[in-house]
């Protein structure tokens, strides 16, 4: 097969990068995955269970690992890419340690990082002990221990705050991170399962239940689990003398300001592009969305191809996506890459 | 609470503060509320730190109270502030330091508006010229006077006579710091430490040996709020906001409150009397209330100034318990002697608040 000689570099070994690597490997291409961390898996490794069906994150990791076993892409860890230089007939990828790789195609799958909640100063993350993020909570759930306050007590009242770092011009992020709403519902149910006596409140702007079974889970959270949803932004959090938290918000449905005490507050942090994506994108002359994600060259017909020939994007480096959407997007990118390589080959043969 | 987290926030909000040569603009109301404060500032700056601070008697109100109550139109406010800048320019200064937090906020707002709408600045220059034949340069450095004391807090410490420490127990005094809303809530980047965790007063308190109380209603307005107080029918709302703060700080047993805003110092002090008379309660364990200082008064005490020269007899809540804790000697019989030794008369005693 001619295409065996064609080489694809995938930058990022998270769900998008690994799924694309498996698909491209299965199609017979030579694939190299450059992962900057010591191990692949991306942010999936931080998660305990996934919405909307509470599938253990480990199952998806296992699925991705099986894909690697079957298709054996070359995976290089601790490989931090700093730039891509598009040449006439190939792409040059440069690493922070000076190594240079070349390939016919580069697929960028650098993923996301969670919004730094410290920027929302009014919530006091990393100042008030019992303000944690959804990632911190996921780690607590993953550990198998009961959810506890810093003092080691069982929290009686817990608040989830939606849209932390999303749809928030004040912190420079106007984009919706999409998955935080359903994450808030999922985590509220998980906590309620652990702590049936706890009172749980979710403070939201809108509940964007776009995915399959999302709305059903949202209704279940209210009807089966008794979780309260309050439509209103939280203006500030402060610490009481006993370490509990005072939270101020507005209930916009009743039109009244409210002040409540909580034992634990969970900030549902949004997605922002991973560190390094900006530099990589700029080096290759790529365009960016308003939220600084990598822009594709068409929002309807071609979400994985960029304006620079031979450079493709997939996963959450181009927009916030769920795990399921990320895997689908990676497969879509695979199809576009194969199509592009075949076109290129046909043109060169002619 | 993790203090390191606060320090990270503070690092994001530092600002340039000129080292010397200041054009000082006084507050409209502080000279009646706490008349020793501005005098103490000038004494510290000129006599103790050897700085050049210039005043012009032609300086007027910035219209802040009128502006925030919708009595004075924006263009009028801007033209009056432009006149202040003209006085500064005429005097050969480029660093302006308002004593009032509302003036500081308003000056900042005006300069920011002109930055975004230069045509507005051109119009105001025209108005000023037509009205006064004056021209001006915008200040190179605009900071509040509490920023200045913050900047020189370590020099003040070097010259200090006492620390903010309880003389009997040797423990740091527990201090509530209250920041005026107009200091950083409108423009967080203009406040040292930002709007959520301002460090301008914390920096002074900690440098001089005290410890800061972070209580749940720390960020809440003192209750003055201009409209809340100036419209007589709203004064109950003003008192209720102050009460909310006192109730929130009470469990921490503060030794005193310090504020950097004219209105805040006034209302946190006087409303304690009002609440005591209305409800028969105070927020300390002795029925005397929690003493309230301005930051200049706090600095003056640290520098060893006489409490009566600082004008502390003008406070509603007695400061003597605080002076005792600090180990500051004072003569009761001199409390109501004026600057020339004449008796200025004692105020009537409240019914409930012990003085």
Burial class, A34, CB count within 10 angstroms (exposed 0-12 / middle 13-18 / buried 19+) = buried
Contacts by B56-61 with C-beta closer than 8 Å and gap 24+? B56/B23, B56/B87, B56/B88, B56/B91, B58/B87, B59/B25, B59/B26, B59/B84, B59/B87, B60/B84, B61/B28
Can you tell me the distance from the alpha carbon of B223 to that of B243, in angstroms, rounded to the nearest whole number?
A: 8
The alpha carbon of residue A36 is apart from the nearest alpha carbon of chain B, in Å, by 27
CATH number of B15-145: 1.20.1050.140
Whether the Cβ atoms of residue A181 and residue A51 lie closer than 8 Å to each other: no
CATH topology of domain B152-334: Rossmann fold (3.40.50)
- Would you give per-residue pLDDT tens digits along chain B (355 residues)? 888 888 888 888 989 999 999 999 999 999 889 989 999 999 999 999 999 999 999 999 999 999 998 999 999 999 999 999 999 999 999 999 999 999 999 999 999 999 999 999 999 999 999 999 999 999 999 999 999 999 999 999 999 999 999 999 999 999 999 999 999 999 999 999 999 999 999 999 999 999 999 999 999 999 998 888 888 898 999 999 999 999 999 999 999 999 999 999 999 999 999 999 999 999 999 999 999 999 999 999 999 999 999 999 999 999 999 999 999 999 999 999 987 889 999 999 999 999 9
The alpha carbon of residue A299 is apart from the nearest alpha carbon of chain B, in Å, by 34
A238 touches chain B (CB under 8 A): yes
Enter the tokens of residue A138. 């996921």
The answer to whether A241 contacts B219, with C-beta atoms less than 8 Å apart, is no
Q: How far is CA A346 from CA A9, A102, A329, A339, B60, in A?
A: 21, 21, 26, 11, 81
The predicted model scores a pTM of 0.93
DSSP secondary structure code for residue A316 in this structure: G
Q: Which of A126, A127, A238 sits opposite B216 (nearest CB)?
A: A238
Can you tell me the distance from the alpha carbon of A175 to that of A321, in angstroms, rounded to the nearest whole number?
A: 12
In chain B, where the domains are located:
15-145, 152-334
Q: Which of B4, B9, B214 sits opposite A121 (nearest CB)?
A: B9
Query: In order of start, what are the domains of chain A with their CATH numbers?
Result: 2-111+274-349 (3.50.50.60), 117-271 (3.50.50.60)
Q: Which residues does chain B have within 8 Å of residue A126's beta carbon, measured at their own beta carbons?
A: 2, 4-5, 8
The answer to whether B252 contacts A241, with C-beta atoms less than 8 Å apart, is yes
> In this predicted complex, what is the ipTM?
0.90
């Amino acid at each position: 097969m001619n295409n065996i000689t064609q080489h694809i570099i995938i930058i990022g070994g998270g769900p998008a990068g690994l799924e694309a690597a498996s698909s491209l490997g299965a199609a017979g291409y030579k694939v190299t995955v450059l992962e900057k961390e010591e191990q692949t898996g991306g942010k999936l490794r931080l998660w305990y269970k996934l919405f909307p069906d509470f599938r253990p994150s480990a199952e998806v990791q296992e699925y991705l690992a099986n894909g690697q076993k079957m298709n054996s892409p070359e995976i290089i860890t601790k490989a931090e890419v700093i730039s891509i230089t598009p040449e006439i007939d190939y792409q040059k990828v440069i690493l922070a340690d000076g190594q240079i790789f070349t390939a016919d195609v580069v697929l960028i799958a650098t993923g996301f990082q969670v919004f730094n909640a410290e920027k929302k100063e009014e919530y006091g993350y990393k100042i008030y002990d019992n303000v944690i993020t959804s990632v911190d909570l996921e780690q607590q759930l993953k550990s198998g221990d009961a959810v506890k306050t810093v003092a080691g007590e069982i929290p009686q009242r817990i608040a989830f705050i939606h849209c932390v770092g999303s749809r928030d011009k004040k912190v420079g992020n106007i984009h919706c991170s999409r998955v935080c709403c359903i994450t808030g519902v999922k985590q509220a149910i998980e906590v309620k399962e652990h702590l049936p006596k706890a009172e749980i409140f979710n403070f939201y702007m809108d509940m964007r239940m776009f995915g399959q079974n999302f709305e059903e889970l949202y209704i279940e959270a209210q009807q089966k689990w008794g979780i309260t949803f309050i439509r209103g932004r939280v203006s500030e959090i402060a610490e009481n003398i006993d370490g509990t938290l005072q939270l101020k918000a507005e209930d916009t449905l009743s039109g009244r300001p409210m002040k409540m005490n909580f034992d634990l507050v969970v900030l549902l942090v949004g997605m922002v592009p991973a560190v390094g994506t900006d530099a990589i994108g700029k080096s290759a002359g790529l365009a960016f969305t308003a939220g600084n994600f990598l822009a594709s060259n068409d929002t309807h017909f071609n979400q994985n191809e960029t304006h620079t020939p031979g450079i493709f994007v997939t996963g959450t480096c181009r927009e916030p996506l769920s795990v399921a959407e990320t895997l689908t997007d990676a497969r879509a990118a695979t199809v576009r890459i194969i199509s592009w390589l075949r076109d290129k080959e046909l043109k060169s043969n002619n | 609470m993790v203090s390191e987290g606060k320090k990270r926030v503070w690092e994001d909000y530092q600002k340039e503060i000129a080292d010397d040569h200041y054009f000082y603009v006084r507050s409209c109301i502080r000279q009646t509320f706490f008349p020793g404060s501005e005098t103490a500032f000038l004494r510290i700056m000129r006599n103790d730190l050897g700085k050049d601070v210039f005043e012009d008697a032609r300086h007027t109100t910035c219209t802040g109270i009128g502006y925030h109550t919708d009595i004075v139109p924006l263009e009028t406010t801007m033209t009056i502030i432009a006149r202040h800048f003209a006085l500064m320019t005429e005097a050969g200064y480029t660093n302006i330091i308002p004593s009032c937090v509302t003036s500081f906020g308003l000056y900042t707002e005006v300069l920011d508006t002109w930055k975004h709408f230069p045509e507005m600045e051109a119009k105001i220059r025209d108005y000023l010229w037509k009205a006064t034949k004056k021209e001006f340069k915008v200040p190179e450095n605009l900071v509040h006077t509490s920023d200045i004391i913050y900047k020189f807090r370590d020099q003040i410490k070097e010259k200090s006579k006492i620390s903010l420490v309880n003389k009997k127990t040797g423990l740091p005094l527990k201090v509530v710091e209250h920041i005026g809303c107009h200091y950083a809530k409108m423009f967080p980047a203009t406040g040292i430490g930002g709007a959520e965790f301002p460090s301008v007063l914390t920096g002074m308190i900690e440098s001089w040996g005290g410890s800061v109380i972070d209580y749940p209603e720390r960020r809440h307005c003192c209750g003055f709020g201009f409209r809340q107080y100036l419209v007589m029918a709203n004064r109950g709302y003003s008192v209720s906001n102050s009460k909310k703060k006192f109730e929130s700080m009470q469990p921490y047993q503060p030794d005193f409150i310090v504020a950097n805003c004219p209105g805040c110092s006034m209302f946190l002090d006087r409303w304690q009397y009002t609440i005591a008379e209305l409800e028969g309660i105070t927020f300390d364990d002795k029925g005397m209330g929690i003493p309230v200082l301005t930051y200049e008064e706090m600095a003056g005490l640290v520098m060893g100034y006489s409490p009566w020269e600082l004008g502390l007899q003008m406070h509603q809540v007695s400061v003597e318990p605080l002076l005792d804790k600090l180990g500051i000697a004072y003569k009761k019989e001199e409390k109501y002697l004026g600057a020339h030794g004449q008796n200025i008369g004692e105020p009537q005693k409240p019914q409930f608040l012990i003085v």
